[in-house]
Amino acid sequence: MGIGATAGVAAVGGAALSAQASGNPSSSSASLRFDPDAYTKLTTTITDTQGAEHKVTYHFWKAITYVADPVDETYQSLNVSVPVEIDGTAVDATDAPILFANSVGGYLPSSVADATGIGASGAPTGGGTGGGASPAPSASASASAPGANGNTNGTGGALNTNQLLALLAGYVVVEPGARGRTLTNSDGEYYGTAPAVIVDLKAAVRYVRSNKGRIPGDTDRIVSAGTSAGGAVSALLGASGDSPIYDKYLKELGAADASDALFAVGAWCPITDLEHADGAYEWNWGTNALSSGKQVDQTVSKDLKAQFAEYQAGLKLRGLDGFGPLTARNYDEYLVKQYLEPSATKYLAGLSDSDRETYLAKNTFITWSGGRAAFAWDDFLTHVGARKKDTPAFDAFDLSAGENNEFGAGTTEARHFTAYGAKNDSTGLGTKRVAADIPGKLNLMNPMYHLVEKVNERRSKHWWIRLGTSDSDTSHVISANLAARLDNLGDDVNHLYYWDQGHGANTDPGDFITWIATVTGYDKDRTAKRN
């Protein structure tokens, strides 16, 4: 395998770390100047897509505080990993792409403070570091990721795979921590709710870019990655690059005076467009019962579907590949033809003849002809089965959803963020309206704001978006709308659905790593240097 080669890398079997001291480990500091010598030298074994193991030696900088005036250094710090040797061959990552891999899940806080090496940090936590740390709100936590108490990205999920494979490819990997919705101080005040997570991640990007020439890697070729809520903020980072609406928050933290624009974005099952997510969810999953067999309130479901139809019409989006206007009436056809049938076709084509025959015998709703799968939308919904969330899925009437907590403020744990949720509140609130600051908070948290209402020319122009077809954590429309809008703006969009995969799936990480080399031009740069 050549230096920094990307061909054939995709599945990670493990990473057994053995530390070898080389210099002093970096520590939290108010300084925003990166110390190139303050690293620990580590060696790890990474398994590629073909099952082959590779020995990778890298320099590891741990828990560097990325703002001058942190609220909580436990979360507002980042790790940097730079490969220096792969299978005994020296690696020069000076001009390599930088993978900026957040491990946010459920909009919960994530920390790199206890990391032992790459891919071993960032797992979301439910408590705070102050005297009044609170547990997460009730367990409906709509922005849930694969793990019961957050997500598995930091300990073996999609991003852990991406991080290790990026290192194996010769890339620099930055793992930022960020505040999250459950953090409280000794006065019981929430200090990690919106927009803390996006402000922190922007500050981390600014730290990296301000240290050009000190942090190895090409600081103009930063590629964000995230899953679930982390996918949402990854997309938000890419859409909102250098937007002035974050300036006052970044100034309060003493963020570096640098750009926070990103070159490219990877987003897996993004839980985003929250103020419209309830309607989109009911349009998609409204007829599906819960796992208990209970049918959701159909009056509420129909109300929310109507809201979605109005919102979708206002977006004036056109589908990919010349589909035409996307509306609530034809979106099922669009999803089936653009994403679902191609996804099923790819899956079935990859099976042996006998395995394909067995699968089709169990799933008779699929017609297999000429090497292609075909089926109806209603049959697909039946195939997926139970929906994950009750209605409303995101702005719960009883304020139990994780997103309600994400929009908490002061000592108030959870708040409504849609007019419909507030109007139908079941907790006995004195007001049936959203708070005055909510519209502004929603703009800060929604990539669509920066792509539709205030088109941001400093956005990323390259996008990798993925979703499992069996994922009912959000609507399939959410990522499809994001992809359509980006495509309509002329951006490079690589958007696929994984057949029969659930929330947090990442079945083609090797392709993502190769994609990074292609869109950043790194593969051409290496070819030129070799020649």
Q: Which CATH number characterizes residue 174's domain?
A: 3.40.50.1820
Q: Of 380, 409, 442, which residue constitutes the final position of a domain? A: 442
Q: Is the pTM of this model over 0.95?
A: no
**pLDDT number for residue 169:** 97
What are the CA-CA distances from residue 204 to residues 6, 200, 254, 302 (Å)?
Answer: 26, 6, 11, 42
Within this chain, do residues 268 and 301 fall inside the same structural domain, yes or no?
A: no
Within this chain, do residues 293 and 266 fall inside the same structural domain, yes or no?
A: no
Q: How far apart are the first and last CA of the chain?
A: 17
Q: 224: helix, coil or strand?
A: strand
Range of the domain at 438: 276-442
- Nearest alpha-carbon partner for 239 in 252, 255, 257, 226: 226
Within this chain, do residues 231 and 286 fall inside the same structural domain, yes or no?
A: no
Query: Does 151 fall in a domain?
Result: yes
84 phi and psi, to 5 degrees?
-125, -15
Within this chain, do residues 96 and 122 fall inside the same structural domain, yes or no?
A: yes
Token look-up 């109507």 returns: 306
Helices and strands per DSSP (H, E), number in the chain: 17, 15
Query: Does 455 fall in a domain?
Result: no
Within this chain, do residues 58 and 189 fall inside the same structural domain, yes or no?
A: yes
**pLDDT number for residue 122:** 54
**pLDDT number for residue 121:** 59
Residues 441, 437: Cα–Cα separation, whole Å: 6
Within this chain, do residues 286 and 266 fall inside the same structural domain, yes or no?
A: no
Within this chain, do residues 396 and 494 fall inside the same structural domain, yes or no?
A: no
- Nearest alpha-carbon partner for 103 in 162, 63, 168, 25: 162
505 phi and psi, to 5 degrees?
-65, 145
Query: Does 9 fall in a domain?
Result: no
**pLDDT number for residue 11:** 35
Residues 431, 325: Cα–Cα separation, whole Å: 38
**pLDDT number for residue 85:** 98
Residues 469, 483: Cα–Cα separation, whole Å: 16
**Residue 244 has what DSSP assignment?**
G
Residues 222, 98: Cα–Cα separation, whole Å: 5
Query: Does 148 fall in a domain?
Result: yes
Within this chain, do residues 485 and 417 fall inside the same structural domain, yes or no?
A: no
- Inter-residue contact 46 to 164 (CB < 8 Å): yes
**pLDDT number for residue 49:** 79
Q: What is the residue type of 455?
A: V
Residues 184, 129: Cα–Cα separation, whole Å: 8
Q: What is the pLDDT along the chain (531 residues), one digit of tens a residue?
A: 333 333 333 333 333 333 322 333 333 344 799 999 999 999 999 999 789 999 999 999 999 999 999 999 999 999 999 999 999 999 999 999 999 999 999 999 999 999 999 987 555 554 443 333 333 333 223 332 222 222 333 333 445 789 999 999 999 999 999 999 999 999 999 999 999 999 999 999 999 999 999 999 999 999 999 999 999 999 999 999 999 999 999 999 999 999 999 999 999 999 999 999 999 999 999 999 999 999 999 999 999 999 999 999 999 999 999 999 999 999 999 999 999 999 999 999 999 999 999 999 999 999 999 999 999 999 999 999 999 999 999 999 999 999 999 999 999 999 999 999 999 999 998 888 999 999 999 999 999 999 999 999 999 999 999 999 999 999 999 999 999 999 999 999 999 999 999 999 999 999 999 999 999 999 876 655 554
Number of structural domains (the chain) is 2
Within this chain, do residues 207 and 131 fall inside the same structural domain, yes or no?
A: yes
Query: Does 1 fall in a domain?
Result: no
Residues 170, 255: Cα–Cα separation, whole Å: 28
Q: Of 413, 442, 471, which residue constitutes the final position of a domain? A: 442
Query: Does 137 fall in a domain?
Result: yes
Within this chain, do residues 250 and 283 fall inside the same structural domain, yes or no?
A: no
Query: Does 447 fall in a domain?
Result: no
**pLDDT number for residue 119:** 80
- Inter-residue contact 290 to 386 (CB < 8 Å): yes
- Inter-residue contact 83 to 58 (CB < 8 Å): yes
Residues 280, 270: Cα–Cα separation, whole Å: 13
Q: What is the residue type of 199?
A: V
Strands 367-369 and 372-374: antiparallel
Find how far residue 476's CA is from the centre of its chain.
Answer: 15
Within this chain, do residues 249 and 152 fall inside the same structural domain, yes or no?
A: yes
426 phi and psi, to 5 degrees?
-115, 10
Q: Of 397, 415, 442, which residue constitutes the final position of a domain? A: 442
**pLDDT number for residue 22:** 31
Query: Does 451 fall in a domain?
Result: no
Within this chain, do residues 165 and 312 fall inside the same structural domain, yes or no?
A: no
